[in-house]
Amino acid sequence: MAFWVYMMTNASRHPTYTGFTGDLQERVWQHKNKIEEGYTKKYNLVRLIYFEEHSYPDIGIDREKEIKGWSRAKKSALIESVNPKWDDLAREWGKQYKPNQGPSLARHSAVKARGAV
């Protein structure tokens, strides 16, 4: 099973949100469709701009906490190291995605976290 640390933003690239999930496709779908009340809905954070895969949940949770503690500049540098234009990495997933029926992540360039097994 895979676990994911990911970052979302809006068209203005500010603010960003860092999260952790066991189902990246479903979670991004929830953000894009504003399923839950909260920070990402309030600021229209519907663009997936970064994600990395982890094999163990505790490593992913630690990584999420680490990134959340970083400065805006350090987060931007991480995003730009793999996504220099801040493209929406899930733009083709679309609003038609239904949980457990979305496109394969294999078609996307996931980032393998340094040191994650």
pLDDT digits (tens, 9 = 90+) for 97-112: 556 554 444 434 444 4
Taking only the tens place, the pLDDT of each residue in 9-59 is 999 999 999 999 999 999 999 999 999 999 999 999 999 999 999 999 999
Flag whether 51 is in a domain: yes
Range of the domain at 102: 3-112
Flag whether 117 is in a domain: no
What secondary structure letter does DSSP report for 110? Answer: P
* Overall size of the chain counted in residues: 117
Determine the pLDDT at residue 93.
75
- Give the model's confidence band at 96: pLDDT under 50 very low, under 70 low, under 90 confident, else very high: low
Flag whether 13 is in a domain: yes
Flag whether 46 is in a domain: yes
Q: What's the structural domain count of the chain? A: 1
Helix (H, G, I), strand (E, B) or coil at 97: coil
Taking only the tens place, the pLDDT of each residue in 63-92 is 999 999 999 999 999 999 999 999 999 998
Residue 63 is part of a domain; what is its CATH number?
3.40.1440.10
- Nearest Cα residue to 32 out of 21, 45, 51: 45
Residue 73 CA to residue 105 CA, distance in Å, equals 28
- Nearest Cα residue to 93 out of 82, 104, 84: 104
Contact (Cβ atoms closer than 8 angstroms) between residue 43 and residue 104? no
Determine the pLDDT at residue 46.
95
Name every residue whose Cβ is closer than 8 Å to that of residue 103 and which is 6 or more positions away in sequence: 25, 92, 93, 97
